Amino acid sequence: MQDLTHYIDGAHVQGTSGRFSDVFNPATGEVQARCPLANADEMARAVSVAQAAQPAWGATNPQRRARVMMEFVRLLNRDMDKLAETLSREHGKTFPDAKGDVQRGLEVVEYCVGAPQMLKGEFTDGAGPGIDIYSMRQPLGVSAGITPFNFPAMIPMWMFAPALACGNAFILKPSERDPSVPLMLAELMEEAGLPKGLLQVVNGDKEAVDAILYNDVIQSVGFVGSTPIAEYIYGTGCAQGKRVQCFGGAKNHMIVMPDADMDQAADALIGAGYGAAGERCMAVSVAVPVGDETADRLIEKLVPRIEKLKVGPYTAGDDVDYGPVVTAEAKKKIEGLVQSGIDQGAELVVDGRDFKLQGYEDGFFVGPHLFDRVTPEMDIYQQEIFGPVLSTVRAGSYEEALKLAMDHEMGNGTAIFTRDGDAARNFAHRVNVGMVGINVPIPVPLAYHTFGGWKKSVFGDLNQHGPDAFKFYTRTKTVTARWPSGIKEGGEFNFKAME
């Protein structure tokens, strides 16, 4: 049993609240560590340290800040396996998937090496008689991020890397379910040259979240998690005058047109629907074949692929397709939704309810499930399952398939598989979803574009990473300057238009 810590002012600090959360090994069901849950006083201490450290960092020129990011990239590559192994042990995802988690965060850090270019302002020479106008981007001060369990490396880096590159201090409140990798990242940032107090990790639950939301020093808050909590954080944070971006749940549809390559579509659905045990906000959980013939062909391709999936712990090798879900509660919720699908009349084509893994009977493993003939009023369609469950909703036409994606309250990601360029273009232009894949099942943009959904998948007007990150973590200041030349006579009492 390991007692984890907070990371405050460049040091590991024991929790003082007396409250802890268990950190499980999802493969065995055993408690492997205790995570301290901070109170408001502990959060206030971290904020005070950040507030004191930030001015000097904000005054450091962007090129020097970028060099810290360069070195951080090198250290991430050096420690990739160590980070991935720790991540797999606490989260349960396979080792290759854990490395991908770190890699996609690393790519955002690489983008932040370009901070000097991204932070350049604008300048107008001679806007009026002897008048120049220029704007500059300046850091907010102290920012905070509240991140989920499913990407304990990637999403923290999506937040703290641009925040720090812009000159802010950052307080990270990671998920208490798998907090070790965020603590390791804070150590690596300081090894890369980041001064102490600029990146701190404060573990906690709702008490820590509220301490962030009601602290006047914290200027911005980022969040990724469920939609109800996203709504709460967005509403509360905005009411306190903070800049807030919140990313909520998802129900991602993949439309399969009759002309699609059915093997390609089936392979895409296997990876997008069952990878990481479905614990991804960009997982495809709804397949929408257009026409019964298309649906029958797709199901025929899917069933043998699903039945061959290898489920096991990350220690079983790189050929494991997916591991356990994160907690016993998550497993129970998934199994309850599967039962609701059966009760409400969906056809369970592949039944994973009796899945057991010898030697890991107490682990949080969930077998793969495939439903057919799901209808929009069913709970398994309405709710985000966050597990290895794929629902098939048959559509009679392209317009009906498009309407399914557009009518759902979530709008994170979607995809269409087709050989028809006109259908693909029409879909991309019309669908009211933030990220669209064309023959790409998980359309997560690369680091130099922005990530964000629509509808109830997002609250706020700026996306994550890419150019939007540099807008979110800075304020624009515009200066109008006049340097008079020669002798000026008297004052002016009217506001003249620029000549």
Q: Which residues are catalytic?
A: 281
b/e map of 412-439 (b: 16 or more CB within 10 Å)? bbbbbbbeeeebbeebeeebebbbbbee
From CA 347, how far away is CA 355, in angstroms rounded? 18
CA 65 – CA 211 distance, rounded (Å): 29
Q: How many alpha carbons lie under 13 Å from residue 418 in its C-beta half-sphere?
A: 22
Residues 6+ apart with CB under 8 A from 232: none
Rounded Cα–Cα distance for residues 380 and 338 (Å): 7
> Which residues are registered as beta bridge partners of 224?
247
CB 370 within 8 A of CB 349: yes
Bridge partner residues of 17 (DSSP): none
Q: Measured on CA atoms in the order 222, 226, 231, 236, is the torsion positive or negative?
A: negative
- The residues near 83 (Cβ < 8 Å, ≥ 6 apart) are 76, 98, 102, 153, 181, 184, 185
Element housing 349 (H / E):
strand 347-350
